[in-house]
Amino acid sequence: MDVFDKIKLTGLNMPFEAAEDIQCSRQSPDCAVDLDVIRSIFPVTQARLPNGQTIPLLKTMQTSVCEKDCYYCCFRSGRDTPRASLLPDELASAVDRFTRAGLAKGLFLSSGLAGGGVRTQDRLIATAEILRQKYHYQEYIHLKIMPGAEKDQVLRAMQLADRVSINLEGPNEISLRRLAPHKSFFSELLGPLKMIEDIRQTESPHLAWNRRWPSSCTQFVIGAVGESDADLLHTTVKLKQRFHITRAYYSKFSPVIHTPFENLPPASSWRQHRLYQAFFLLRDYHFNYEELAFDSGGNLNLEKDPKLVWAECHLHETPVEINTADYTQLLKVPGIGSISAKKILLARTYGIIRDVHTLQKMGIITARASKFILINGHRPPYQPVLL
């Protein structure tokens, strides 16, 4: 099996590894190549980076051999499935060839756990080192941190990568035990996240490849073991506060044959979508965890987005005056985002905003916003939204 066959084989697991993926149409100017064709051959996805740039990202694994027996995973130990492993030299060479051919402009590198977390992490680091040092690779690298990795390894990974991540999988120890019975929530998974933050606080990034510490993130598997949205988002908030993660990924569970969870139903795509909406409210829209509305089971409303649910409870009787509201108040109005909120503040320096048409020119979705705002003291007309 040559290196490209190995990459295709290990790429079978990549849909379960959420990263910076976005949808990309063939007409998009950001698509330098026909990604639909490439995806049918290699695990290349269109990705939006933390800086907003959009690139084709190669998502692959160092090895699909794994000694862990996570109940949901297609590469769990003991499952009869084709596997492949790549040496650091051959994987780095292949990534370089993908890059020079214009097929990928970044790398997401994960791995099964083979020979322990320390040994596996060494191979991931070696691949990244060869790329940066031998091939002078200047593109984006998202590098996984393995369960049980040592602090020196975490430091080296941070010096080589633009983003590092470790999958918590469950929001707490109980959920993790149901998903992956032989992983330790605190020592193997939370421990490396703490190391990442400790390094940021105590070490200089001058030896990092771009003289900046990478961002960090994590991933949860949702819908397999009864965890609630409240559990997931509460853990997310704590991780953001304590370890300054910049992103949480919520990967909806999909059953895989010949695993202990093969007969469980797939998780709801709407649930995954609502979790992402709530996450961005917490990260970018100045919402607090306490402002999110959960049902008696601790879950978000699947029929309405969480921002609309909040607005219906808090803004229906006390709408926001467009001409006097501050930035945070504007952000909490459905149909107004960060860019349009800034446009409102700028427009107010030139005079009073008097009509809906002015808001529409700013990109505001007035069909959503009108119910919750005042314009110069008056409620604008609005059309009820049909669900």
Q: What angle do CA 274, 278, 283 make, to 5 degrees?
A: 145
Q: What is the pLDDT of the chain when averaged over all its residues?
A: 93
pTM of the model: 0.93
Strand 44-48's sheet: what is its strand order? 44-48, 54-61, 106-110, 140-144, 163-165, 215-222, 247-252
Q: What angle do CA 279, 281, 283 make, to 5 degrees?
A: 70
Pairing of strands 44-48, 54-61: antiparallel
Of 196, 387, 210, residue with least CA distance to 302: 387
HSE-up of 321 (CA within 13 Å, CB side)?
A: 8
SS3 for 267? coil
Contacts of 249 (CB under 8 A, 6+ apart): 18, 19, 217, 218, 219, 220
Contacts of 301 (CB under 8 A, 6+ apart): 274, 293, 295, 309
Report the alpha-carbon distance of residue 376 to residue 20 in Å, rounded: 41
Answer whether 385's CB lies under 8 Å from 367's CB. Answer: yes
Q: Extract the tokens encoding 170.
A: 């469950």
CA trace torsion 187, 190, 192, 193 (10° rounding): -160
- The whole-number average pLDDT for the span 154-178 is 98
pLDDT digits (tens, 9 = 90+) for 24-58: 333 333 444 454 555 557 889 999 998 889 999 99
Report the alpha-carbon distance of residue 22 to residue 343 in Å, rounded: 26
| pLDDT for residue 224 is more than 80 | yes
pLDDT digits (tens, 9 = 90+) for 76-104: 999 999 999 999 999 999 999 999 999 99
